[in-house]
A and B are shown apart, each in its own frame.
Chain A
């Protein structure tokens, strides 16, 4: 209802009020005696109405982090420690029924393959009705009307509530799923690679829409992707993940202008620019570590261009002491021994 009249809702809720707070969140995948820590002691906050981006390579734990927030981890994954505070209340201890209410209503999620998440033998509108009626008392007719309004909101003709998923293009199906994620006006929408499977023009259209809806309705977004250039464009703040840890976190502009962690710098050096001179780029040599047996000290040190045995004292620290994420400038957090050691920078 409110969705249908955005004018009522235009008061932007972009404040620094904390919506979600992760405290030392640790998620493990355990098979036999082999334990993999996919998320290792992550501290992170998401404020109301902001777009927080998480970037990193495959296997860095970014998807696991999103799934943990939504509480949809399945064995062998489990939360091994830490808290997920949503509006101050820990969701890790919630019962099934509490979680059922929490999902969609408070937090909803759009997956990478969301366009394949729709039931192929059900009309799009009926899938909206099912979801809404699972959460609130609403007549089928009213729910269908609202489904139409939601489709309208994401730029799809209302009449398409009668369409089957196969009658829609991939981009349209993805928009349907985004509309569904917004149906109950959640405070947080987790988007995990929402546009990765789509063509670049369709991706742009969907991002434009997400951004304008977010400004209109004021929900917060956790945007997970491997595409740092895309993230720097859409997000307010960005957290860079490597091997289960957050290694740098700052406003998107700051990450773009002055990335401090060598991994962030390496990522920035992995996306060729579309304008300006073409210089040979280096990417990042090597591969991410095996999380069942992460390197001692800084997890990035085997790939770090600034980790050399010649600099003995620093090298010892890099290879034995785990760097702690700490604030180096207002709002700019880095976990790197080089940053502490100002003389070497």
Chain B
């Protein structure tokens, strides 16, 4: 296998949704606009941003719940955004699994835990029928639901939220995926059990070499569990790099604003943040220029006319900002 066999690469992924407007000229939400990143094996990549930033749309595009407007999702050297062949789709789905936010809605209340785990094993022919029960117990052990035999017989309503989320993770693992897309997997869980789910993700990464795309709005949990971080704003990635580095020395003003907003009792008297003026509708038919310009304390003239590109301003750390991550030579087309 080639060196890139295990990684998932997203290239210029774009998704527009039509909204309002007239029939002739419908406005479009640029929910995901030219998003590129690579998921390396054995790493957790956090995708953070506010609601409406497009982070869940990225997750759904990866899970093939939506067709992208443009761009590629390359897995094992093949572009899977375009494939229509059932065999390729099945293969992709067995390699890239998704965990959803709501563990109450993602399990069938009429079926036992065993049923939920046996189905993917059968559909994807992971193990011979005779070994299904043994494999189910292994899976439940892996996600910390022991004694496994007892949990296998339970129905979703007999489980707590955290236990249900563990079942959802076990189900995702059943098909032996290499990539797991987890969309806000802890935000609906009680605070005391959130860490357990994050620890489980870290263990699966370390022990099984899985790679995760961890979609979240919670910067502290992203820092806790992720190796790399992608910050989205209005459909675009505005900053990316190693999680610890980005959160210690954020480049983009939006990342800075997010960080300054997170409650942290370790900080005594904090600087008040500026109350925003712009609105998060920046992704509807966006004009040229930076989408954050209306809220940005650092904005200069060029920001409202030229769309900034992702520029690697520090080693491995890139940002989409004319001020903190200027392009090496801004071409003389700023008047366009």
Partner among B162, B221, B272, B276 whose Cβ is within 8 Å of the Cβ of A287: B162
The CA-CA distance from A226 to B265 in the complex, in Å, is 15
In the complex, per-residue mask of A197-214: 1 if CB is within 8 Å of any chain B CB, else 0: 001110111001000000
Q: A275 touches which one: B50, B194, B257, B266 (CB < 8 A)? A: B266
Residue on A with the closest CB to B198? A272
User: Is B190 a contact of A226 with CB atoms below 8 Å?
Assistant: yes
Q: How far in angstroms is the closest Cβ of chain B from A193?
A: 12
* Complex contacts, A205 vs chain B, CB 8 Å: 273, 275-276
> With an 8 A cutoff between CB atoms, is A95 at the interface?
no
Indicate if the CB atoms of A200 and B195 lie closer than 8 Å: no
Q: B160-199, CB under 8 A of A: which get 1 and which 0?
A: 1010000000000000000000000000001111111011
Bound CA span A58–B280, Å? 31
Residue A251 at the B interface, CB < 8 A?
A: no
Nearest-CB distance from A81 to chain B (Å)? 28
With a cutoff of 8 Å between Cβ atoms, the chain B residues found around residue A276 in the complex are 266
Q: Is A345 an interface residue when CB atoms closer than 8 A count as contact? A: no
For B123, list chain A residues within 8 Å (CB): none
Interface residues of A in 69-89 (CB under 8 A from B): none
A271 close to B247 (CB less than 8 A): no
Chain B nearest CB, measured from A90 CB (Å): 34
Q: Which residues of A contact B276 (CB under 8 A)?
A: 201, 205
Q: Mark A276-320, 1 if CB is under 8 A from B, else 0.
A: 101011111101100000000000000000000000000000000
Q: Give the contacting residue for B220; candidates A228, A269, A271, A287; CB below 8 A.
A: A271
B257-291 at interface with A (beta carbon < 8 Å): 257-267, 272-273, 275-276, 279-280
In the complex, A233 Cα to B198 Cα: how many Å?
A: 24
A270 with B195: CB separation less than 8 A: yes
Contact in complex: A278, B224 (CB < 8 Å):
yes
The answer on a CB contact under 8 Å between B224 and A283 is: no
The residue that A204 contacts in the complex, of B162, B247, B260, with Cβ under 8 A, is: B260
The answer to whether A227 and B190 touch (CB under 8 A), given A205-B276, A281-B195, is: no
A197 to chain B, nearest CB (A): 9
List chain B residues, Cβ under 8 A from A282.
195
Please tell me if the beta carbons of A201 and B257 are within 8 angstroms of each other in the complex: yes
B64 interfacial contact with A, CB 8 Å: no
Q: Which residues of A contact B334 (CB under 8 A)?
A: none
Quick one: closest A residue to B248, CB to CB?
Answer: A275
- Indicate which residue in A169, A199, A269 contacts B217 across the interface (CB closer than 8 Å): A199
Is the CB of B223 closer than 8 A to any CB of chain A? yes
Q: Can you list, as one digit per residue, whether each of B189-224 has a CB less than 8 Å from chain A (1) or not (0)? A: 011111110110000000000000000010111011
Q: Across the interface, which residues of B come within 8 angstroms of A228, CB to CB?
A: 191
List of B residues within 8 angstroms of A131 by Cβ: none
Q: Which residue of B lies closest to A227 (CB)?
A: B263
A residues in contact with B4, CB < 8 Å: none
Query: Which residues of B are found within 8 Å of A234, using beta-carbon distances?
Result: 263
Question: Is B51 engaged at the interface, CB distance under 8 Å to the other chain?
Answer: yes
Most buried by B among A227, A232, A272: A272
**Contact call A232/B265, Cβ cutoff below 8 A:** yes
Check B50 against A200 for contact (C-beta < 8 Å). Answer: yes
Partner of A274, one of B51, B196, B264: B264
Contact assessment for A283 and B217 in the assembled complex, using a CB-CB cutoff below 8 Å: no
When the two chains form their complex, are residues B195 and A283 in contact, meaning their CB atoms are under 8 A apart? yes
- Tell whether A122 is near chain B: CB-to-CB under 8 Å: no
List chain A residues, Cβ under 8 A from B257: 201
Q: A229-B264, A275-B264 given as contacts; is B272 within 8 A of A208 (CB)?
A: yes
* B164 → A minimal CB distance (Å): 12
CB distance from A151 to the nearest CB of B (A): 14
With a CB–CB cut-off of 8 A, which chain B residues contact A270?
A: 191-192, 194-195
Contact status B199-A203, CB under 8 Å = no
Determine whether A273 belongs to the interface, using a CB cutoff of 8 Å to chain B.
Answer: yes
Say whether A200 contacts B258, CB under 8 Å: yes
A273/B194 contact (C-beta < 8 A), A201-B258, A201-B273 known:
no
Residue A267 at the chain B interface, CB threshold 8 Å: yes
Partner of B191, one of A227, A232, A275: A227
B265 touches A58 (CB 8 A): no
* Chain A, residue nearest B144 (CB): A285
Task: Say whether B223 contacts A274, CB under 8 Å.
Answer: yes
A229-B264, A229-B265 given; A284·B220 CB < 8 A: no
CB–CB B221/A199 < 8 A: no
Q: Which residue of A lies closest to B244 (CB)?
A: A278
Residue of A nearest to B190 (CB): A57
CA distance A272 to B216 in the complex (A): 14
Minimum CB–CB distance from A62 to chain B (whole Å) comes to 12
CB-based contact B262/A274 at 8 Å: yes
Question: Are B219 and A274 in contact (CB-based, < 8 A)?
Answer: yes
Whether B273 contacts A272 by the Cβ 8 Å rule is no
CB neighbours of B191 from chain A (8 A): 57, 226-228, 267, 270-271
On whether the beta carbons of A272 and B220 are closer than 8 Å, the reply is: yes
Q: A201-B273, A205-B275, A281-B195 are in contact. List 17 more A-B contacts (CB 8 A).
A: A169-B280, A199-B50, A200-B217, A200-B219, A201-B50, A229-B263, A229-B264, A230-B263, A270-B191, A272-B221, A272-B223, A272-B224, A274-B223, A274-B266, A287-B190, A287-B193, A288-B190
Of the A-B pairs whose beta carbons lie under 8 Å apart in the complex, a sample of 22, sorted by A's number, is A155-B275, A199-B217, A201-B258, A204-B260, A204-B273, A205-B275, A227-B263, A232-B263, A233-B263, A270-B191, A271-B191, A272-B198, A272-B223, A273-B264, A273-B266, A274-B219, A274-B223, A274-B259, A281-B224, A283-B194, A283-B196, A284-B193
B residues at A contact (CB < 8 Å): 50-51, 160, 162, 190-196, 198-199, 217, 219-221, 223-224, 244, 247, 257-267, 272-273, 275-276, 279-280
List residues of A whose CB falls within 8 A of some B CB: 57-58, 155, 169, 199-201, 203-205, 208, 226-230, 232-234, 252, 256, 266-267, 269-276, 278, 280-285, 287-288
